[in-house]
Chain A
């Protein structure tokens, strides 16, 4: 049962990828609570399961076992269409790549989620324009993604993510493709949205600079949460085994346990 202020909760979340010859346990029983209005960073080396965790929490992917409750609603009990609709109305997404539809203009990309939610075209257009204004892109509504810089594209994505006033915004490496200046701008925007609108953000990142903007840092390793501390903790940004995260990320690929069931032996 969700606690007061809890917006997302997972219980013993497990995700195993089975490709036939290889089984990968990306999540090995993750229990997590995210409260309303929090800005949470999930950190960890490559392959530790952070993107998988985000996908399962947001309903983009189905866990192998365990539960995910969003405001007390069990996502697994929803049919695909219901889940999709729920996402459209209540969630926002920011990815590192493939955010925008290249054939649509900035305003068309933003209004898409409103149209999906059944908002009238004229209202959707107005709100989309407003959202673009909020992220500082007034005047660029009719530009296509190819005509925008990386930072501008990511702002459009942010505008799309917040235009339907979602309860939670999921961001997977939102600054991974941006330079320092743009990264700062995007993160500042997210912080402002978090503090002013009390929007909940869950951000997957391996960048300590990005994580430092969040109020809570969750460290993952090998498919499990190994550390969960507020940013005020002096070791919040330190790797659980000691040392710092580099911006290139850990080379340690042994984060997930791999059980090999191949025919014959390696």
Chain B
């Protein structure tokens, strides 16, 4: 082994003599490590922000391999650099305070990532649980729907035939263990004893011979037998609660075909066999429901005994796969595929071309739940990005301070023979230990933080009255999330460490030992050019002071070259962004060009002028409305970019003009008799230590920027609640939905059944939509496969066009305005739907920052494939998105909805009441009197209030999540102050010697911390307010939101609280400084 290593060493020595190869060999370890880390960083970024859930496992597995490679490589480096490894480990053990500070600081980014993933896992687990519970043991079901989405009925022989087709699948693949027919209907219910009613409940008739495979009922947790007579029912507990029904109560149940009276035989739990999502359900016998439907069969009804379904009518065929509710669900795709193949060619009840609907909704709902929660997780991750950036800034700050503290030690190490490479290794190994330890602790802390956030969400849901599930009980962090958090935290920390160690090792030995300023050192290229032009001063290896030398030094300096590089990269991004109107690429590119320009100009104009100009230009660029970029599209990434650049610019302006600011502060404070000496001490260090001051201010400012921005968004919503109501409600006060069957002429029906309320309704502003279902064919992102989404189809009438005020968030005007000749108006859009291939989509399908998640995205002007019940595919063009999200649907003219999709029933009624009338009175009356149609209503105003309340609560939760980032700022400030006390020990001793009292020492350190924290908080909150204003100004909330508001008290509260904690973190080190005795501090022998 030793001989082998010696040979390797000899080969290395020879190779090092060749210039470029020598450099590469010298830095081989670093090059390999950088390569591995870059790859890991890319994977982590993809896993966190880009890839869908189904690919996450693969990506994490891949990153695990690379993590292993990195750790193995570090281990190999340790093997070949045992001394450096021991020194790195020794540093960790002997500098305990430093280690603790480093670990605390480094772990925060990891904990943010972990808590975001934990939140997503929990929500996913909860929703999946609800889905599994809702379906329980049935995994697929077969129905045939009429165009209005109602399942049609099969007679006994048809039922038998279909059941046997399903069972025959087991001949090839033994996947099915249960088949049963049921009848599902909707009906309205009145409890005769309590007089309470529900306009729409699920009526469900089940076979008593299906319980072994499809589960039994429970009542108060105990099993109960299905023992019902034809006029008896079981009520699910939630339904019983709504009706206040008890055992023995009589219920009048009405369906579209008739009414019957039933007696409550039992109240069962709404879980297991008794669960059907949020629909309250009444369970009855087949005979019971057939009598309600007016179809009592002749002869005996086997009800599925021994698989015999003769003599009945049924509309839903349920299938249970082998393996229970979860494992069975995983077989859905296979079973569905087999079923569809088996049913092809079988006569369809609606004639040729009819489509058998084999629903594997359980599996797809679970997948949808996962996707929904993915979006939720991504939202938290994107918001958490600011905290992660602040965490990286803290890592840099800590490492720079550690390196400054150990400058003398490093200088002596170099003096006695340690090479730069060795020095880098020592700090790399030390950094690797910090990375591992802090990532582990960060994951643990993240699990706790995630739990606290979920606890907060639970409280919010409870306050909103949403019960029936507990998020807290579903708290989960999957192994993938834990691994991903660890890998992400480790990678970010060690990558930052590696970057800093490059800087650390370039110090000059003598200046390090003597702690004097670093001498000016020109880059290799500059020295070469100076030598070539004869302008090199050989004594100092710098220019000889001539004009030519100065020009060469400035033009080819490192910062100039880097600045030029940034400008080139920025220009490329701009060129890529402008044609496609991509906001992030364009804005980032221009910002990089401006920053690069400042690096170029600083040698000409001086640092202060160049950076001031750049900061102002950046701020103006990001804040001012630039007409050219008006139509550029951006999403959450713009929120992140704007934060980074606006805050950086603000901080840059501050650190380069602190003297001006502090001149005023000094004058002001001296008026209130604060000691000028203390003020001078408090402000001098921040002015001098620009990098440390700037990065600490940046940390505070960035977090407060996001918190203030969030607070602004919700305030603007709140002050514009009336406009919001108009947007959501479309000018209507009540939305009524016929749950059982549609009402063609609401006016006439209400005249007849509810004349009192008829007079309260403003019929001139009331309209209706025909409502049914279609399928949207879409391509699954990343996977590239096709899938279909069942979606409502809304047929628009002329009344609707005339009365609605929904408005549009986006319109492809060029498709309809006849070359600009026609005025852009809402009616032009709606009227363009008639007899065309245009459709309008609801606001939900626009996606975006705050919309619900959809499995695909589209834009105006794009084509869309719609599929009707006859499996006919129609190519349509998306004309516009509505702003509203209250009524979901693909909107088309009612004639086209009827012709192409057979959607004709008037099911959604948009009702306006006369001025001065309370909508809730009208709403109650309609529900009561239109019971036979299962008419249920919701009041727009109440809906808006609920939405705003939920918005407020969730934004506050987001702010609470973001406040975790404030911990970074507070920890950062505490660390900076602690380090300052240590570094300035001797100066403190001298200060005390010449007359500083202990109180003045405390005051000056606290003053310094107060300045840093205060500046960060002021910059962040000011820019956060500006961000809110920008969003409002640019129509981010919609043109209806004409009021602007600033939540002064909330912002002030947050700022004061943050300031308090920041100062609190500085108190212990400041008191420590005051305890320094002059004699001890001044000892140098």
A: residues with CB less than 8 A from B are 46, 51-52, 55, 58, 60-61, 80-81, 84-85, 87-89, 93, 95-104, 108, 112-113, 115-117, 121, 146, 160, 172
Complex interface: chain B residues within 8 A of A96 (CB): 1084
User: At the interface, yes or no: B998 with Cβ under 8 Å from chain A?
Assistant: yes
Complex interface: chain B residues within 8 A of A113 (CB): 994-995
A113 vs chain B, min Cβ distance (A):
5
User: At the interface, yes or no: B1048 with Cβ under 8 Å from chain A?
Assistant: no
> B683: nearest residue on chain A (CB-CB)?
A103
Complex interface: chain B residues within 8 A of A104 (CB): 680, 684
User: At the interface, yes or no: B1078 with Cβ under 8 Å from chain A?
Assistant: yes
Q: In residues 991-1009 of chain B, which contact A (Cβ within 8 Å)?
A: 991-1000
> A108: nearest residue on chain B (CB-CB)?
B680
A121 vs chain B, min Cβ distance (A):
6
Partner of B677, one of A99, A100, A116: A116
A40 vs chain B, min Cβ distance (A):
19
7 contacts between A and B (CB under 8 A): A51-B1085, A84-B995, A98-B990, A112-B994, A115-B675, A115-B680, A172-B1082
Complex interface: chain B residues within 8 A of A108 (CB): 680, 684
A154 vs chain B, min Cβ distance (A):
14
> A119: nearest residue on chain B (CB-CB)?
B676
> A95: nearest residue on chain B (CB-CB)?
B1082
> A114: nearest residue on chain B (CB-CB)?
B677
Q: Which among A46, A60, A93 has the greatest number of chain B C-beta atoms within 10 A? A: A60
Contact status B675-A116, CB under 8 Å = yes
Partner of A87, one of B670, B685, B994: B994
Complex interface: chain A residues within 8 A of B998 (CB): 80-81, 84
Partner of B1084, one of A98, A101, A160: A98
Partner of A101, one of B675, B987, B993, B1078: B987
Q: How far is the CA of A115 from the CA of B678 in the complex (A)?
A: 9
Complex interface: chain A residues within 8 A of B1078 (CB): 55, 60-61
Q: How far is the CA of A121 from the CA of B663 in the complex (A)?
A: 13
User: At the interface, yes or no: B576 with Cβ under 8 Å from chain A?
Assistant: no
Knowing A98-B989, A116-B677 are in contact, say whether A121-B996 is a contact too (CB < 8 A).
Answer: no
Q: How far is the CA of A108 from the CA of B1078 in the complex (A)?
A: 21
Complex interface: chain A residues within 8 A of B688 (CB): 102-103
Knowing A101-B987, A103-B685, A115-B675 are in contact, say whether A146-B516 is a contact too (CB < 8 A).
Answer: yes
> B1000: nearest residue on chain A (CB-CB)?
A116
Complex interface: chain B residues within 8 A of A100 (CB): 990
B1008 vs chain A, min Cβ distance (A):
11
Contact status A103-B995, CB under 8 Å = no
> A146: nearest residue on chain B (CB-CB)?
B517
Complex interface: chain A residues within 8 A of B528 (CB): none
Complex interface: chain A residues within 8 A of B997 (CB): 80-81, 84-85
Q: How far is the CA of A112 from the CA of B994 in the complex (A)?
A: 9
A-B contacts, CB under 8 A, total: 89
Complex interface: chain A residues within 8 A of B684 (CB): 101, 103-104, 108
Contact status B676-A121, CB under 8 Å = yes
User: At the interface, yes or no: B986 with Cβ under 8 Å from chain A?
Assistant: yes
B670 vs chain A, min Cβ distance (A):
7
A54 vs chain B, min Cβ distance (A):
9
Complex interface: chain B residues within 8 A of A116 (CB): 675, 677, 994-996, 1000
Knowing A98-B1082, A101-B990 are in contact, say whether A85-B670 is a contact too (CB < 8 A).
Answer: no
Q: How far is the CA of A85 from the CA of B996 in the complex (A)?
A: 8
> A104: nearest residue on chain B (CB-CB)?
B684
User: At the interface, yes or no: B1079 with Cβ under 8 Å from chain A?
Assistant: yes
Complex interface: chain A residues within 8 A of B675 (CB): 115-116
User: At the interface, yes or no: B311 with Cβ under 8 Å from chain A?
Assistant: no
Q: A97-B986, A116-B995 are in contact. List 14 more A-B contacts (CB 8 A).
A: A51-B1083, A52-B1079, A84-B995, A95-B1082, A96-B1084, A98-B990, A101-B681, A102-B688, A103-B685, A108-B680, A112-B677, A115-B677, A116-B677, A117-B995
Q: How far is the CA of A160 from the CA of B994 in the complex (A)?
A: 9
Contact status A98-B992, CB under 8 Å = no
Contact with A along B1056-1085 (1 / 0, CB 8 A): 000000000000000000000111001111
User: At the interface, yes or no: B564 with Cβ under 8 Å from chain A?
Assistant: no
Q: How far is the CA of A99 from the CA of B989 in the complex (A)?
A: 10
Q: In residues 659-697 of chain B, which contact A (Cβ within 8 Å)?
A: 670, 675-677, 680-681, 684-685, 687-689
Contact status B989-A61, CB under 8 Å = no
B658 vs chain A, min Cβ distance (A):
12
Complex interface: chain B residues within 8 A of A117 (CB): 995
Complex interface: chain A residues within 8 A of B989 (CB): 98
> A87: nearest residue on chain B (CB-CB)?
B995
Q: Which among B684, B989, B995, B1078 has the greatest number of chain A C-beta atoms within 10 A? A: B995
A25 vs chain B, min Cβ distance (A):
16
A176 vs chain B, min Cβ distance (A):
9
Contact status A103-B687, CB under 8 Å = yes
Contact status B1084-A97, CB under 8 Å = yes
Complex interface: chain B residues within 8 A of A52 (CB): 1079
Q: How far is the CA of A121 from the CA of B996 in the complex (A)?
A: 17
Contact status B986-A98, CB under 8 Å = yes
Q: How far is the CA of A97 from the CA of B515 in the complex (A)?
A: 12
A172 vs chain B, min Cβ distance (A):
8
Knowing A98-B986, A101-B684 are in contact, say whether A60-B995 is a contact too (CB < 8 A).
Answer: no
B1078 vs chain A, min Cβ distance (A):
4
A253 vs chain B, min Cβ distance (A):
11
Partner of A81, one of B670, B685, B993, B999: B999
A207 vs chain B, min Cβ distance (A):
15
Partner of B995, one of A55, A88, A97: A88
> B993: nearest residue on chain A (CB-CB)?
A93
Q: How far is the CA of A55 from the CA of B1077 in the complex (A)?
A: 11
Knowing A97-B986, A115-B677 are in contact, say whether A60-B994 is a contact too (CB < 8 A).
Answer: no
Complex interface: chain B residues within 8 A of A95 (CB): 990, 993, 1082
> A58: nearest residue on chain B (CB-CB)?
B993
B491 vs chain A, min Cβ distance (A):
37
Q: How far is the CA of A61 from the CA of B680 in the complex (A)?
A: 26
Contact status B993-A60, CB under 8 Å = yes
Q: How far is the CA of A112 from the CA of B995 in the complex (A)?
A: 9
B435 vs chain A, min Cβ distance (A):
33
Contact with A along B955-991 (1 / 0, CB 8 A): 0000000000000000000000000000000110111
A36 vs chain B, min Cβ distance (A):
22
> A61: nearest residue on chain B (CB-CB)?
B1079
Contact status A87-B993, CB under 8 Å = yes
Contact with A along B999-1038 (1 / 0, CB 8 A): 1100000000000000000000000000000000000000
> B685: nearest residue on chain A (CB-CB)?
A103
Closest CB pairs A-B (n = 8): A88-B995, A98-B986, A61-B1079, A116-B995, A103-B688, A115-B677, A103-B684, A60-B1078
Contact status B990-A99, CB under 8 Å = yes
B518 vs chain A, min Cβ distance (A):
11
Knowing A81-B999, A98-B1084, A112-B680 are in contact, say whether A61-B1077 is a contact too (CB < 8 A).
Answer: yes
Q: How far is the CA of A30 from the CA of B994 in the complex (A)?
A: 25
A224 vs chain B, min Cβ distance (A):
19
Q: How far is the CA of A52 from the CA of B1085 in the complex (A)?
A: 12
Complex interface: chain A residues within 8 A of B670 (CB): 121
> B994: nearest residue on chain A (CB-CB)?
A113
Complex interface: chain A residues within 8 A of B516 (CB): 146
B407 vs chain A, min Cβ distance (A):
14
B1041 vs chain A, min Cβ distance (A):
49
Complex interface: chain A residues within 8 A of B995 (CB): 84-85, 87-89, 113, 116-117
Q: How far is the CA of A93 from the CA of B629 in the complex (A)?
A: 64
B674 vs chain A, min Cβ distance (A):
11
Contact with A along B484-523 (1 / 0, CB 8 A): 0000000000000000000000000000000011000000
Q: How far is the CA of A85 from the CA of B670 in the complex (A)?
A: 19
Q: How far is the CA of A189 from the CA of B1050 in the complex (A)?
A: 62
Q: Which among B676, B993, B1082 has the greatest number of chain A C-beta atoms within 10 A? A: B993
Q: How far is the CA of A93 from the CA of B996 in the complex (A)?
A: 13
Complex interface: chain B residues within 8 A of A80 (CB): 997-998
Q: How far is the CA of A61 from the CA of B989 in the complex (A)?
A: 11
